[in-house]
Structure 1
């Protein structure tokens, strides 16, 4: 895969241009963005800068892209990063600091000349500083291990932005201008920097003389992205809200006595799951009551939209096992009934449906009864398998041929518990097959590995929940300790209150920021025509309500 520049020096040529000069290799072609015309051009090697150019006071670790607001186009740059770990020899970073640079020299980002522009800049900053954005310069974080293995022969000729999974290329919209500027004579690929919204964790362990590493990655789709009450269900293209792909990777080094490269592994194993909103047209409407009003819209194209969604997942992952965790009575019942009705109508041969009444089966804190669901899914899990690459063979020992798609109402709390249970079941199977664990043992018999597994999945649950629901996940006391506790139930009450407040009073601007960055909404060039963004004459209670025709 073509390399990315890992560090740039920015030189500002007054009101004329921004010049991005690679720190390494010395003499590499620099990139100029004209502040007059907006033109993007690649310079000749060793191009000399004007003497009047001033060096920017911060290092630049990547160009996230360009975005046009009401009064100017802006360059968004990454100026801070934090190393989160090494995955198979590749550094993985979290983005920590960003800057926004105006092309229009008459615009000050600290004191914009119009309140609408100020509001849009605030949305832009809040989005980039409030999310969990991950990247690597040398490996593709957006694609699961099996997809990378299957396309390895083609990847060597591609730039990273050409190879990434489009669903998880979070800054794809604001990279459009750079991508459209690529020509045979002007290859900007080293500057086109994909970033992913998700989670990443990796931890080492030592069991029976074998060094292993356990990694967990989640990838959030940029399609139908947003917040809990403002993005529900499906759209006409088959995209669902809160879609996340989660991959658990097990890396096993060679025997303890063998000489080894720390970046080489005797075995690489991967298990992938997905989650996403129930693929119907539905919404929960904020009324400031604790329980919002539920609406299931019976549209003429509901079956077609669901068919598109499920067929996409089958084309990508193989057989789909749909696990539905919503309640069979009360507030959630209409969604359950509609989901089952349309799954039966669509009737795709590679899609299976499994209902599990989570709250009934696990009441009185009997969460060990999730084992009942795993028993029902075991034939599917065995048939789907997982990816197993052996370092001594060019062909995989096995590949994953199907996937479990789990949902509850929000695809957060119940979904997290079930996905962690399926991941543990699979990890035990993998360690047994490698001979690292005896058949009668599980990871729960090894305190350090068990603790790391639980913490990874609980942290992962919290981060997905914060991105969509505004608070940490509920029920993580079970994930962290293998027990449901009264203290955990009390903490869940506090988190539920946080969600209520954020979802009802603060998620409107968060949703606007999602729409702005992903290109779902594009600002008008006349800021006066967008005054509705900052001046709403309606009463506060009315403004707090989400209207399906506008946002949902």
Structure 2
């Protein structure tokens, strides 16, 4: 039987990859006229992509005449077209202007996109003169600057090895094969995709480049005389994407926040002892995602935000859709919950268990493991108790194994472990890395590299790569969701919990608090804009909200932080500055301490008003929710006379703008692909 075509370069992409200017010695020219953007192949090919700046039409030309009047050559390297997006005033062509080579996977180069540029289609638009346009382009640039974007010109990075083996897609373009969940720039590519589908003869498809948001790491090492490459890929879903506290739970379609598919790949090249050249490709996939219910934690300036578990009519349907999708894609699914069984997290645990028992979806089972209780006092070795609980699932589900010397796959993975804690970050990272190591031992024993009772733990060089790969992976996922590196990575890197690790976790926790309360609003807006979860309509009154300013508080909320700062300054001044009076400082300290306490009390009582909330999709309905389910003590709401910044304007705009123009929390969903 012929080798699997999923592991060879697609001929059409070999032909047209030069259009995206990869690996070209000469700079790929971009020609600009008042009427068009023209992207010309760097190798002198005769096909070019043209974007008409007047009509917005996209076409591929077989020739490019450099003698056209008013043509300007731009010497910026362009390595790919990320897509086209419409903002308040005009459309923009988003292009990739920088990349970094990160390694080879099965002969295909993998890159990280590092720099981007926005090319306005309307030649007369200068965003800085339009407040709404300036804000939106800023969100887009910030999202591109902070994201972890990976791609390959010749390999479908959105799909795991087993999916590519089962559906090689021979003769199709990468965008036609891509997993829709992980095609991060799918919304931006929708114009090009529509044009390609409408008229395949125009050959627009080679310009459509799928990009994933996630992680990629591949490291060469050896084990028992075998040359091995260990690879770890994480793919983040574009559905319900966002930041830690502004995207929790699920939507009506069952898409959950912070859903990541993590694939650990083991490539065994050859045996140095025997000289054999048999190649083995092994893959093991896990997934993580937010607890699939309607729930939230409402920021109110307290360290632990207010937990809300909302029992809505759509809960059962959304949860069933989520679980059924897992079964359809991966097979049998074991849902491992790591949340605490008491305290702040208890309501979400109980609600999850209640709905799982009520639905009883076939091929899905639930397993709870109280991570903090079982592994308290740095007893991290007790994570083995979780492995024991799910060992039968791991053995039954197996892993994907393809040997180059055999015509068919040796093994298929027939199920998946779905893990979650509250954030799907720190506890989930520890659990997934432990499960991955258990499966890695199993794979190496099955293919004869390890003896039956041997473990990779005794091979320090190999374990160094394994641990650091998983720790880096944990940091990347955490930064994308919470804004900081992961907690507990000292255990992942060294196999031990250390006091320095505890200190580092404390610093990261403080930074998470600051970022999640005061900086994540614009970050969430960037996610919503890029993924199409909010789409602007030119001339719409919604731009009043966009351009209103980031600190649209009432008078009192604005003054209180200033009063806190002033009181602290005056107290410090009384302690440090030279005295010019014989009067006691007691009255001075009493006055400013009282003002400080009153101001701080006011800020905490109205904490919701001081949080940096998203402005494109205001969470008003979520914050004001008072329906069935679990509601906390509603701290930080004050007397009800103050609203969070932008929320009061959003309430006004709801009366003026059709409901579908604004996504309100978990209750509305809008996406254009």
TM-score range, shorter chain: over 0.9
Deviation string for 1:130-152 (max 9, x for gaps)? 01000000101100000000001
Q: Is the 8 A contact 2:518 2:612 kept in 1?
A: no
Count of residue correspondences: 544
Deviation string for 1:150-178 (max 9, x for gaps)? 001xx112110000101000000010111
Q: Secondary structure at the match of 2:264?
A: strand
Q: Secondary structure at the match of 1:503?
A: helix
Q: Counterparts of 1:125-524 in structure 2 under 5 Å?
A: 125-152=141-168, 155-182=169-196, 183-256=199-272, 266-524=279-537
The reply on whether 1:41 has 2:53 as its aligned counterpart is no
Q: Is the 8 A contact 2:29 2:42 kept in 1?
A: no
Distance 1:33 1:49 in 2: 18
Distance 2:284 2:249 in 1: 26
The reply on whether 1:62 has 2:62 as its aligned counterpart is no
Shift of residue 10 of structure 1? Answer: 4.0
Distance 1:68 1:361 in 2: 51
Q: Secondary structure at the match of 1:531?
A: helix
Shift of residue 551 of structure 1? Answer: 3.8
Distance 2:374 2:275 in 1: 50
Distance 1:56 1:425 in 2: 53
Q: Is the 8 A contact 1:283 1:548 kept in 2?
A: no
Shift of residue 394 of structure 1? Answer: 1.6
Distance 2:203 2:273 in 1: 46
Q: Cα gap change, 1:44/1:474 in structure 2, threshold over 3 Å: closer, same or farther?
A: same
Distance 2:189 2:146 in 1: 20
Shift of residue 92 of structure 1? Answer: 0.4
Q: Is the 8 A contact 1:27 1:46 kept in 2?
A: no
Question: Which residue, 21, 32, 46 being the options, matches 1:28?
Answer: 46
Shift of residue 301 of structure 1? Answer: 1.7
Q: Is the 8 A contact 1:67 1:73 kept in 2?
A: yes
Q: Is the 8 A contact 1:283 1:296 kept in 2?
A: yes
Distance 1:548 1:535 in 2: 17
- TM-score normalized by structure 2? 0.79
Larger radius of gyration: 2
Q: Is the 8 A contact 1:116 1:533 kept in 2?
A: yes
The reply on whether 1:12 has 2:31 as its aligned counterpart is yes
Q: Cα gap change, 1:454/1:42 in structure 2, threshold over 3 Å: closer, same or farther?
A: same
Deviation string for 1:297-334 (max 9, x for gaps)? 01112111100000001000000000000000000000
Q: Secondary structure at the match of 2:449?
A: coil
Q: Secondary structure at the match of 1:213?
A: strand
Q: Secondary structure at the match of 1:404?
A: strand
Distance 1:164 1:49 in 2: 39
Q: Cα gap change, 1:286/1:492 in structure 2, threshold over 3 Å: closer, same or farther?
A: same
Distance 2:299 2:257 in 1: 17
Q: Secondary structure at the match of 2:40?
A: strand
Distance 1:302 1:49 in 2: 62
Shift of residue 212 of structure 1? Answer: 0.6
Q: Secondary structure at the match of 1:294?
A: strand
Q: Secondary structure at the match of 1:5?
A: helix
Distance 2:154 2:612 in 1: 45
Q: Secondary structure at the match of 1:149?
A: helix
Q: Is the 8 A contact 2:520 2:612 kept in 1?
A: no
Q: Is the 8 A contact 2:30 2:76 kept in 1?
A: no
Distance 1:526 1:21 in 2: 35
Any unmatched runs of 5+ in structure 1?
Answer: none
Shift of residue 443 of structure 1? Answer: 1.2
Shift of residue 29 of structure 1? Answer: 1.3
Shift of residue 439 of structure 1? Answer: 2.1
- TM-score normalized by structure 1? 0.96
Q: Secondary structure at the match of 1:344?
A: helix
Structure with the larger RCO, 1 or 2 (CA within 8 Å, 6+ apart): 1
Deviation string for 1:81-124 (max 9, x for gaps)? 00011111111000010000001111135xx3211111111000
Which structure is higher in helix share? 2
Q: Is the 8 A contact 1:420 1:457 kept in 2?
A: yes
Distance 1:238 1:548 in 2: 22
Moved more, 535-544 or 201-210: 535-544
Q: Secondary structure at the match of 1:280?
A: coil
Q: Is the 8 A contact 2:521 2:612 kept in 1?
A: no
Distance 2:66 2:431 in 1: 58
Shift of residue 22 of structure 1? Answer: 1.5
Deviation string for 1:243-263 (max 9, x for gaps)? 000000000012326778xxx
Deviation string for 1:58-92 (max 9, x for gaps)? 11100000000001100000000000111111110
Distance 2:665 2:521 in 1: 9
Q: Is the 8 A contact 2:225 2:273 kept in 1?
A: no
Q: Secondary structure at the match of 2:484?
A: coil
Distance 2:162 2:179 in 1: 12
Q: Is the 8 A contact 2:32 2:74 kept in 1?
A: no
Cα root mean square deviation, aligned: 1.6
Moved more, 43-52 or 387-396: 43-52
